[in-house]
Amino acid sequence: MTELELAEGAMRLVPTDPRRARAEALRVRARARKAGDRAAESAAERVLGLAGRESNRMRSAAGHLRRAVVVADEAGLAVLAAQGRMSLALVRADQGAIAEAIQLGKRAAPVLEGLEAARLRMQLAVVAQRQGLFDEAFAEYGRALAVFRREGDRLWEAKLLNNRGVLQAYRGRSEAAEADLERAEELYQKLGQDLAVADVRWNRGFADGRAGRVVTALTHLAAAEVYYVGNRLPTAMILMDRCDVLLAAGLHGEAREVAATAVRELARRRMGADLAEARLLLAAAALACGDLDAAGGAARLAGRAFDRQGRPGWAAVARYGRLRTDWTAGRRDQKVQRAATSNAAELRAAGWAVPAADAVLIAARCALAAGRPEEATGLLRQARRARRSDAPAAQRVSAWHAEALLRIAGGNRRGAEAALRAGLRALDEHRLTLGATELRVRAAEHGLELVRTALSVAGPAKQLLLWAERGRAAAQQRRPARPPDDARFAADIAELRAVAADREQAVAEGRDARRYGHRQALLERSIRDRVRQIGPVDRVPPAGGPGLRGLVSGLDGRALVELIAIEETLHAVVLAGGRFSRHELGPVGAMNAEVRALRFALQRMALRDRPVASGAERLDRALLGPLRSRLGDRELVVVPSGRLHGVPWHVLPSCHDRTVSVAPSATGWLRAASAEPPGGETVVIAGPGLPAAIDEVETLAGLYGGARVLTGGVAEALDAIDGARRVHVAAHGSFRADNPQFSALRLSDGPLTVYDLETLRRPPGLVVLSACDLGMFTVHRGDEIMGFAAALLALGTRAVIAAVAPVRDGATRDVMLHLHAGLRAGRSPAAALAAVQPAAAAFVCYGAG
C-alpha cells in the first residue's frame, strides 16, 4: 500500500477517531518527507488539520492545512491543493475569517469536479450559514445533496443533513430540522460513526431547544456531553447549546454560568466565530438576570466581532440583544421604536423568525406608549402573524400578546381577553410537556408580559382576581413527575447523602471540607440534570379543581386576601361575605423594604430576644390597615405576592389572635380544602443534633397513642410519610435559595431533599416541620414558588406548618405540644397554630389550614 493510500485511510478515521487519525498521519508524513513523496505529505497534513478541527484545536488545524496547500502547490498537485483549500476554508470560517474562507473556496472551485465539487459546495453552504445567509445556504445544500444521493455518498449526505438540520432550526422550521437530523443520525449509525452520532444528538438538542421542547433538548445534549467527556473532547460548543436551552427554560443564573464558561474556553482556543456567538448568549443570560450593563457590553462585543467577520445576520441578532437591553431598562422613546422596526426587518430577512416577531412587538409597544395608535396598529398586525401552531411556545405567547394589544387599541376589550386567554393556553400546552418541577416553575417566564398586560387592563375586583389566578403559581396546578426510577439516580442520591454527612462531620471537626463540597456539587448537577430529562406526568391527571367557581361557598365565612403586583404598585382583592373589593395598597418597593426589615428583626429576636413590634406594626398598617373594615374578625386566607411569601403573618398585630392560612393561589387553596384527608397513621420523626427532639417526638407519640416513632434514615422516613394522616418532624432543616429542590431535612443518614419527597406515591395529609427555615420559598417571576413546603403542597398535602424565620434549638417543644393538643381537640391546623401565639410567631400554616 502506498503512502498516499495510507493517508487516505487515515482520513477515513478522522470522523470516528481523530486521535488515531492524527497518529497515523504523523507516521505517513514522516515517511513521505523521507521519501520525497509530496502528494502523501500534503494528504497527511490535510488529515492532521481535519483531526485538529474535530478536536477543536483550530490554530493547529489551520497551520497544517496551510502546509497541505503549500506542499501541493509547490509540487503542482492542483487537486490536492484545492482539497486543502476546501478544508482550510471551513477552519477559517470557524475562526471568524469569513472573507478569507470565501476566497479559498473560490480558488478551489474551478479545479474540483463531481463529488469533490459537491463537497466544496456543501462546505461553502456552511460558510454562508455562518454568515447568517440562510436562504443561500439552503439552496447550496439542496444542490450538493442531489449529487451525494446520486453517487451514493452516504457519509457526506449525513454531514450535509446534520448541518442543514441546524439551519432549519435557526429558520424556525422544527419539523424539517427534526427530519434532517433523524436521517443524519440513522446514516451515521449505519456507518459506525460514533462521534458523528454524538454530534447529531448534540444538534438535535439544539433544535429541540429552539422549538421549545426542553425535556428532549436536555436529554439529547446530556447524551452528547457524556460521549465528549468520556472521550476527553472539548465541550465548549455543547455548553453553548445547553445555555440556549437553559435560557428558554428560564434557568437564567445557570445559563449565565454556562455561557461564561464557554466564552473562556472559546477565547482560549481562539475560535472567533463561536466566541462571538457565545458572547451573544452571555448577553442574553445577563439580561435575563437583570444585569443590564453586562448584557449591553457582551452584546456590543459580539456585534463588533460579527461585523469584522462579515456576518450581517448574526450582527442583526447582536443588535436585537442591545434593543432588548434598552427595552428592559425602560426606554420607550422614538429612537428605540425606529431601532426595533429596523432590527425586525433585518432579522426577518436573515431568517430569525422569533426575535423578529419580538422586535416588532417592542416597536408597537413604544408607539402605544407614545400615543401613536395608528403606527402601533400596523406593527401589531405584523407581530400577530407569528402565532402558527408549530411555532415555539414563547413565539406563540408573544403573538397572542400582540393580538391582545391590537384589540385593546381598537377598544375591543372582550376580544382582548380572548386573545390573552389563548396566549395562556399556549403556555399551558408547553408546560404540559415538562415533568420536572424546576422547569414547570420557570416556564412562567414566557407568559409574564402577557399576564402583566391582562392585570393592567383588568377592571373590577372579580375580574382582577380571575386574571391573577390564571397567571399565578401554575406549576402548583399539577403534581410533579416522579424522579427517574433508575440505578444511576438512586446511586447519586445515596452518595449525596453520604457526602453531605461527611462534609458536615469534617466542618464540625475543623477539617478541610472542600473535597466533599466539590463532590457534592457534581452529584447535585447529575441529579438535577437527570430529573430535568423526565417527561410529563401521564399516569397522574392534571389537577383540575373548581377554580374560582365555588370559592365564595368554599370560604365558609373566611375572608380571602389576594395580593397582586401591577407594575410597581401592590393591590389587594378581598372576598368577604360574598362580596369582592379591590384596594390599592402602595409601592411594591416600600412593602419589600418593610418585609426585609421585619425578617432581619425576627432573626435578631431569635438570637437576643429583641422585640419586633415597630416593624410589624408598619407592615400591618401598609398591608392590612386599608382592608380592616372589609375583614372584620374573620379568619383569613392570604395569597401573597413576591417577597410577601416570606411574611410571618402572626407577627402582624391584625393577625395576633386570628386564624390565618397562606396559599400560593386561591384556586390551590380551594382544591386543598376540598380534598379528602388521608386515613393513614400519625408519624413523628426525630433528626440528629437536636437534644430535645427525641423527647419531643416521644411525648407526641404518647399524645396520639399509636403514632409511629422514627429516628432512622431517609428510606424509612419516606416509607412512613407516604400516605400518612399527619407527620411531625423535629429535625434540622436547610433551605437552599440557590437550588430549592435541594432544600432538606437532616436525618440520621443525610438529607431528605425535595427530590426525595417527589418520589412519594401518596401525599401526607398534614405536615408539621419544627425545623428552621423550611417554610421559606424561592419566588420566581409570575409568583411561582419553590421550596420544601411548596413541594409538599404541589404533591397534594392539605396543610403544612413550617417556620419562615430562625427558631432557637429547644425553643419549640412546648409550642408543638400545645399545637398538637389543639389538633387532637379537633381544631384546624391554622386555628391550632393561632391558639399558640405569640410563642409560634415564626411559623406559618400553608395550604388549607
pLDDT at 540: 36
Q: What is the pLDDT, as a whole number, of residue 538?
A: 43
What is the Cα–Cα distance from 833 to 225, expressed in whole angstroms?
50
Inter-helix orientation angle 78-94/58-74, to 10°:
160
845: nearest Cα among 654, 673, 687: 673
pLDDT tens digits, one per residue of 238-287: 888 888 888 877 778 888 998 999 999 888 888 888 899 899 989 989 99
Region 92-111 average pLDDT: 87
Enumerate the β-bridge partners of residue 726. Answer: 682, 766
Asked if 662 and 838 count as a contact pair (C-beta separation under 8 A), the reply is no
What is the predicted pLDDT for the residue at 293? 94
Q: Which band of pLDDT confidence, cut at 50, 70 and 90, is reported for residue 733?
A: confident
> Residue 654 pLDDT more than 70?
yes
Q: Which residues of 451-483 are buried (b: 16+ CB within 10 A; e: fewer)?
A: bbbbbebbeebebbbbbbbbbbbbbbbbbbbbb
Q: Of 495-504, 532-541, 737-746, 786-795, give the lowest mean pLDDT range.
A: 532-541
Start-end of H helices in 509-550: 514-532
Nearest CA among 721, 720, 734, 731 for reference residue 696: 731
In the chain, % of residues over pLDDT 70? 92
Q: What is residue 497's predicted lDDT score, i.e. its pLDDT?
A: 85
Q: Which residues contact 390 (CB under 8 A, 6 or more apart)?
A: 174, 175
Looking at the predicted structure, is the pLDDT value of residue 612 above 60?
no
Dihedral sign (CA 369, 371, 377, 379): negative
Dist. CA 354–CA 626, nearest whole Å? 44
Task: Tell which wins on pLDDT, 224 or 489.
Answer: 224
pLDDT score of 688 more than 80: yes
| pLDDT confidence bin for 406, thresholds 50/70/90 | confident
What per-residue confidence (pLDDT) applies to 542? 38
Which of 326-340, 427-441, 729-743 is most confident? 326-340
pLDDT of 784 above 80: no
Mapping DSSP to helix (H, G, I), strand (E, B) and coil, where does residue 654 land?
helix
Name the grid cell of 187. 446514516
Residue 56 has pLDDT above 80, yes or no: no
SS3 807: coil
Answering whether pTM is above 0.85, one says no
Residue 389 pLDDT grade (very low, low, confident, very high; cuts 50, 70, 90): low
> Which pLDDT score, from 0 to 100, does residue 335 have?
93
Under the banding of pLDDT at 50, 70 and 90, the label for residue 539 is very low
DSSP-derived pairing of the beta strands 744-747 and 750-753: antiparallel
Cα angle vertex 613, ends 612, 617, to 5°?
120
Residues 401-419, mean pLDDT to the nearest whole number: 89
Least Cα distance to 72 among 57, 92, 94, 88 occurs for: 88
pLDDT of residue 677: 84
What pLDDT is stored for residue 339 in this prediction? 94
Determine the pLDDT at residue 809. 59
Mean pLDDT of the chain: 86
Residue 526's pLDDT is 81
pLDDT at residue 443 is higher than 70:
no
Grade residue 475 by pLDDT with cuts at 50, 70 and 90. very low
Determine the pLDDT at residue 661: 96
**Highest-pLDDT range among 357-366, 501-510, 608-617:** 357-366
Q: Terminus-to-terminus CA distance in the chain, angstroms?
A: 84
Rounded mean pLDDT, 147-176: 91
pLDDT of residue 473: 52
Q: Residue 221 and residue 203: Cα distance in Å, rounded?
A: 8
- Of 645, 247, 659, the C-alpha closest to 472 is 645
- Interatomic CA distance for residues 218 and 534, integer angstroms: 10
The grid coordinates of residue 208 equal 429541540
In 14-153, where does DSSP find H-type helix? Answer: 18-35, 38-54, 58-74, 78-94, 98-108, 114-131, 134-151
Instruction: Output the pLDDT for position 3.
Output: 86
Does the pLDDT at position 161 exceed 90? yes
What length is written for the chain?
849
Q: Provide mean pLDDT across the span 489-506.
A: 82
- Whether 126 has a pLDDT exceeding 50, the answer reads yes
Q: What does the alpha-carbon distance between residue 144 and residue 122 come to, in Å, rounded to a whole number?
A: 6
The letter for the amino acid at 635 is: E
Instruction: Quote the percentage of the chain above a pLDDT of 90.
Output: 37
**Cα–Cα distance between 688 and 700 in angstroms, integer?**
17
pLDDT of residue 525: 79
The tally of CA atoms less than 13 A away on the side-chain side of residue 473 is 30
Per residue in 407-421, is it b (16+ CB within 10 Å) or e — as a string? bbbeeeeeebbebbb
Question: What span, in angstroms and rounded, lies between the C-alpha atoms of 85 and 678?
Answer: 73
CB contact set of 643 (below 8 Å; sequence gap of 6+)? 591, 592, 595, 596, 779
Query: Pick the residue with more confidence: 88 or 613?
Result: 88
Q: Which pLDDT band, with edges at 50, 70 and 90, does 479 fall under? A: low
Tell whether the model's pLDDT for residue 156 goes beyond 80: yes
